[in-house]
Amino acid sequence: MSNTYELTASVRNRVGKGAARASRREGKIPAVIYGNKQAPLAIELDHKTIFMKLHGGGFLTTIATINVDGQKINVIPRDYALDPVTDQPIHVDFLRVSAGSTLHVQIPVQFINEEKSPGLKRGGVLNIVRHDIDATVPADSIPDHIVVDLTGLEINDAVHISAVKLPAGVTPIVSERDFTIATIAAPAGLKSEEGEAAATEAAPAAKA
């Protein structure tokens, strides 16, 4: 599970575009805490701190504690907005997290043992179909990633969710089908050779 962390915030007494711009000019990022059958709480956070957390990885899968003027609230980031020009964070939405709750999150996929895949050794290409897995997980045990082992995979093999060992408590949102996570695609040269071979075999049949 990702390590939790704490943020310090203050209540925003004014909301709206003008107030949000004022917060940003002061080096703050406007944010909202919502959920758990409570009224939304408008806050502002330090811009530099949020920027570092965003680029540190695992931002949307890590529980945080926000200290709002002395009140500590457990949350998980649900969404954020970036400036279209500067790519700097300009707003964050946080969801309150209560004990024993279950969350819907996107968990990154991590591929291992590429060197143990005969297909990749022969020049095959790892074609990633899903970089993240949509799943429900207990709020107190969100995994950093889901591991996919490529050991033994040949060209044209595929990895389906049924072949992956999921961390305890992780349940994929898509349950009605055995969806594909990745495939080992043939290299361009091999595809060309196969195409030429098929054409050669078809030629005599066409003449006949």
Q: Round the average pLDDT of the chain to a whole number and report it.
A: 88
Identify the burial level of 104 via C-beta atoms within 10 angstroms of its C-beta, where 0-12 means exposed, 13-18 middle and 19 or more buried: exposed
pLDDT (0 to 100) of residue 23:
85
pLDDT digits (tens, 9 = 90+) for 118-135: 999 999 999 999 999 999
Structural domains for the chain: 5-98 (2.40.240.10), 103-197 (2.170.120.20)
Q: Please list the alpha-helical segments (H only) found in 70-187.
A: 118-121
Dihedral in degrees, nearest 10, Cα atoms 40, 46, 48, 50? -20
- Using alpha carbons, select from 97, 88, 82 the residue that is nearest to residue 35: 97
pLDDT digits (tens, 9 = 90+) for 12-22: 877 778 878 88
Phi first, then psi, for residue 184 (nearest 5°) are -105, 105
Question: For the whole model, what pTM was predicted?
Answer: 0.74
DSSP state letter for 186: P
Q: Find out whether 133 and 182 touch, Cβ atoms under 8 Å.
A: no
Q: Find out whether 12 and 30 touch, Cβ atoms under 8 Å.
A: yes
Q: In the chain, what percentage of residues exceed pLDDT 70?
A: 89
Query: Is pLDDT at 136 greater than 70 in this prediction?
Result: yes
